[in-house]
Each structure stands twice: as structure tokens, then as C-alpha cells.
Amino acid sequence: MIAVFAPGQGSQSPGMFTPWLELPGVADLLGEWSEATGLDLVRLGTTADAEEIKDTAVTQPLLVALGTITALQLDLSGDFERVVAGHSVGELTAAALAGALLPAEAVALAARRGAEMAAACAATPTGMSALLGGDPDEVAAGIEAAGLTPANRNGAGQIVAAGALDKLAALAENPPAGARVRPLAVAGAFHTAYMAPAEAALASYASTLSVSDPRPILLSNADGAAVPTGAELLERLVRQVTRPVRWDLCLTTCRDLGVSSVIELAPAGTLAGIAKRELPGTEIVAVKTPADLDAARALIAASPQHGQGEHTPDFRVVVTPAKGVFTRAVGLVEGGDIAAGTKLGVIATNRDEHVITSPQAGVLAEWLRHDGDIVAAGLPVARIDHVEAS
């Protein structure tokens, strides 16, 4: 099975559209999408400097446009076994790849998302810092103890903290054991409560969009789960701006699916590097320029085709709603059937208890935490599998 990944903010570079404009039809597409967004995407992707394209309102539509162009050049509509996922704004690219949004709608949504997040960043001075190394759970707990949010859990020993600038500075002075802190050049605290105004604006905008059920499998940043319906996907895309990116859980699901090859769409590099460490033995192609398209096409040509009567797996990784002590529900065993809403366990905090329930009917495939484990918010506690005939 092939995983197709779409990168997020930070992967952009000046002139990244230039080689792609030599391909037939690309200039026309960018012209259409420029009208849809009110941005001159051709100029921004060719002659604009690094300072101009790091503006969140510009970066996001540029990335979705280039990722979508790459996918169209690869023709990912064939009947080969695949899963798609995108990091942060890359999830909009993934939605277009999965047929849930039309390409023009995905680029326009990225432009609106970028503009609203830029406005939210301007309202309060905030930032983000990457923490490299250390025990992941201890690092996440240390970030929360510092009054910050673990906004991205990327795997490969990297967690990104987000929040107020003074708290980020304090964290850098006293980092969790074994971790190094590296400030990131971003406009603000993405994927935190600071983005609540952007979420509200996007909810209104998203209500005007038409969306289809994603095909093939599309994994959500929220929990690494396969998203079954277009309606749920749209809700998740809206909520995503204030929720942490759990790229580590997307990679866990890829392992569970038996992914053997990865294609990262342009502007590629970051996610391919993480995949090399987190999915060892996987064949990886990072599409950086049109010169890399043939290698990606060769991976697709060698991928198994769907046979008759295949099943589409639907995964849910259930995560903790709060920091506390986890206790499993009595009587539940791995391999057992469960109904939607089944109580899986509780998280006990200093003040109260939070019940954790199954979001769907299926099989309790795996417990990911033991009784008595102290867990941070957003950590996986169980994986629920559901297989339904396609």
C-alpha cells in the first residue's frame, strides 16, 4: 500500500512554482485558482521573496495549490491501494486528493484559513518552538506544565510547543529532560485555543461548501483515524486550527495498514524525512520538482491493485481528553466487539473524572495504555478497528 503525504507550513521556498509552470495546463489552473482566492498565485510562487511567502495568509494557499498540482500530474485516480494524509494545512490537499473537495475549493479554503489564522495571530503575540529529543510523554507533560500546548506531535523525537512568547522563553531556559528547544519562525500559536476566532470564521465559511465522502482512505490529524464521511471531514478541518496535529498517530495508522511506500507531494522533504525514521524499510519518494514525477509513477505502477470484494478498514485511535491517570473499563479485552459509545475507561484528574467512550462500533484492536498510567491530554489509549465491505 502507498501512503501519499501532503506537507504543511514551513516547507515553502521562493520560486517553488517555477519548474511546474513549464508543464501543460498548470498556468491555466493557477490562473483559475488565483481568481478563486484573490491572490496572484503565479507571482507569489515564482518571483516573491521568502519574507512575502512566509505570511500565513499566502503560504497556505500556495502549499495546497502546489500539492494539488503534483497530485494531478501523478494521476492518483487509479485503483491502486493507497491512503492519503496531510500535515496541518496539507490536510486540505489530502481532501482534494481523496475527492472530498474540488481542487479549486481546497485552495480557496486554504486561502480563507490562512487569512483567518493570520488575523488571529495578529491579535495576540504568540509563537511556537520545536522540542527535539527526550521521552515524548515527559516532554508533552513538561510543555503543559509550562502553560503551553503540545501543538504538533510529529514523531521522530519532535514535539512542537505553542503559546505565549514569555512562556516559550521560560521553557527554553528550563526544557524537559533530554530535550533541546528550537524557536520556529512562525506568525503565532497555531493549533491552540489562540486560533479560536479563526475556527469560528471557518465554520461559517465551510457551511457553504459541498463535500463528498473521501475515497480512498484519508487519515485525520486529530487522531490518525480514517475519516468515513465528507461531513465529518469538514468538521475536522474546521476544528483542526485549534487542535493539536497528531502526525505521529497518522504514521501509526500507516504502519497498521501495512504501508510499504510513501510519496510526499511537492514541496517535499520534511514528511519524507520523518517517514524514513518512523516507517523504516519503507520506499520513499519526495517529489520536489517535476524531475521526481517518474520515480513516483514507478511506485504507483508497482503498487498492488484492489481486487474484487476488498474491504476498506476504518481506524479510530481514541485519545485522552485531559491529563490524568488512566483506568480501563472492566471486562473489555483486545479482539472483542464493542458498540459505539461503549465506555473504554476514565481519566482521573485532581478535580474530576473524564469518561472515554468508543466513537464507533468495531473491534478493540489494541490497548495503548495500562491501568494507572499517567497520561497527558491527547495521548492514545486504544485503537478501534472496523472493517466494512466496500
> In the annotation, is 370 catalytic?
no
Over pLDDT 90: what percentage of the chain?
A: 76
- Residue that the C-alpha cell 522563553 belongs to: 169
In a domain, 67, yes or no: yes
pLDDT at 314: 61
Q: What is the pLDDT of residue 228?
A: 85
Per-residue pLDDT at 378? 67
Is residue 237 a part of any domain in this protein? yes
> Would 188 be classed as within a structural domain?
no
Closest by CA position to 251, among listed 229, 270, 233, 277: 277
Q: Residues 90, 63: one domain?
A: yes
Identify the sign of the CA torsion 228, 231, 237, 243.
negative
Around Cβ 150, how many Cβ atoms within 10 Å? Answer: 26
* Same domain flag for 89 and 211: yes
> Could you give the angle at the alpha carbon of 119 between the alpha carbons of 61 and 250, nearest 5°?
50
| CATH code for the domain of 53 | 3.40.366.10
In angstroms, the CA 38 to CA 123 distance is: 23
Distances (CA, A) of 356 to 141, 301, 338: 20, 42, 13
Question: What's the rounded mean pLDDT across residues 194-210?
Answer: 95
If asked whether residues 131 and 118 sit together in one domain, one would say no
Determine whether 207 is an active site residue.
no
Q: Which amino acid is at 105?
A: E
Amino acid residing at 60:
Q
Predicted local confidence at residue 306, as pLDDT:
53
pLDDT of the residue at 385: 82
**Band of the pLDDT at 390, cuts 50, 70, 90?**
very low
Domain of residue 153, CATH code:
3.30.70.250
Does residue 157 sit in the same domain as residue 66?
A: no
Do 211 and 338 lie in one domain? The reply is: no
Average pLDDT over residues 202-230: 92
Confidence class of residue 328 from pLDDT cuts 50, 70 and 90? Answer: very high
Task: Provide the whole-model pTM.
Answer: 0.84
CB neighbourhood size of 137 (10 A): 14
Sign (positive or negative) of CA dihedral 212, 4, 111, 21? negative
Clarify whether residues 94 and 150 are in a common domain: no
Rounded to whole angstroms, what are the CA distances from 186 to 10, 102, 122, 137, 241?
8, 28, 12, 24, 14
Do both 69 and 134 map to the same domain?
Answer: no
Q: How many domains does the chain have?
A: 3
Residue 68 near residue 98, CB atoms below 8 Å? no
Task: Write down the mean pLDDT value for the chain.
Answer: 91
Q: Is residue 71 part of a domain?
A: yes
| Domain end (from 264, 280, 306) | 306
Cα Rg of the chain (Å, integer): 20
Final residue in a domain of this structure, among 280, 306, 332: 306
Per-residue pLDDT, averaged over 28-42, amounts to 96
Active-site residue (options: 11, 34, 87, 88): 88
199, 283: one domain? yes
Do residues 319 and 379 make contact, with C-beta atoms less than 8 angstroms apart? Answer: yes
For residue 146, what are the domain limits? 126-183
Same domain, 103 and 158: no
Instruction: State phi, psi for 167 to the nearest 5 degrees.
Output: -75, -35
**3-class SS letters over the chain:** CEEEEECCCCCCCCCCCCCHHHCCCHHHHHHHHHHHHCCCHHHHHHCCCHHHHCCHHHHHHHHHHHHHHHHHHHCCCCCECEEEEECCCHHHHHHHHCCCCCHHHHHHHHHHHHHHHHHHHHHCCEEEEEEECCCHHHHHHHHHHCCCEEEEEEECCEEEEEEEHHHHHHHHHCCCCCCEEEECCCCCCCCCHHHHHHHHHHHHHHCCCCCCCCCCEEECCCCCCECCCHHHHHHHHHHHHHCCECHHHHHHHHHHHCCCEEEECCCCCHHHHHHHHHCCCCEEEECCCHHHHHHHHHHHHHCCECCCCCEEEEEEEEECCCCEEEEECCCCCCCCEECCCCEEEEEECCCCEEEEECCCCEEEEEECCCCCCEECCCCEEEEEEEEEEC
**Mean pLDDT confidence for 151-156:** 89
Contact assessment for residue 86 and residue 110, using Cβ atoms and an 8 Å cutoff: no
- The arithmetic mean of pLDDT across residues 189-215, rounded, is 95
Q: What pLDDT is attached to residue 154?
A: 92
| pLDDT score, position 375 | 80
pLDDT tens figures, 300-326: 998 776 543 344 456 677 877 778 899
In the prediction, which pLDDT does 310 show? 44
Residue 295 falls within a domain, yes or no? yes
234 and 253 share a domain?
yes
The whole-number pLDDT of residue 78 equals 74
Residues 63 and 114 in one domain: yes
- Convert the pLDDT of each residue in 246-287 to its tens digit: 999 999 889 888 899 999 999 999 999 999 999 999 999 999
In a domain, 60, yes or no: yes
Strand-pair category, 217-218 with 82-86: parallel
- Regarding whether 298 and 168 lie in a shared domain, the answer is no
What is the pLDDT, as a whole number, of residue 316? 76
Catalytic residue selected from 87, 191, 261, 358: 191
Per-residue confidence band for 168, with pLDDT thresholds at 50, 70 and 90: very high
What's the confidence (pLDDT) of residue 368?
Answer: 87
Can you give the pLDDT at residue 313?
Answer: 53
In a domain, 282, yes or no: yes
Decide if 253 is inside a domain: yes
**Least confident piece of the model among 162-166, 175-179, 302-306:** 302-306
Q: Supply the pLDDT for residue 256.
A: 84
Q: How many CA atoms lie within 13 A of 208 on its CB side?
A: 9
- Mean pLDDT, range 104-119, rounded to an integer: 97
Length of the chain in terms of residues written = 390
For residue 294, the model assigns a pLDDT of: 96
d(CA 279, CA 188): 30
- With beta carbons less than 8 A apart as the criterion, state whether 304 and 83 touch: no
In this structure, are residues 170 and 263 in contact, taking their beta carbons and an 8 Å threshold? no
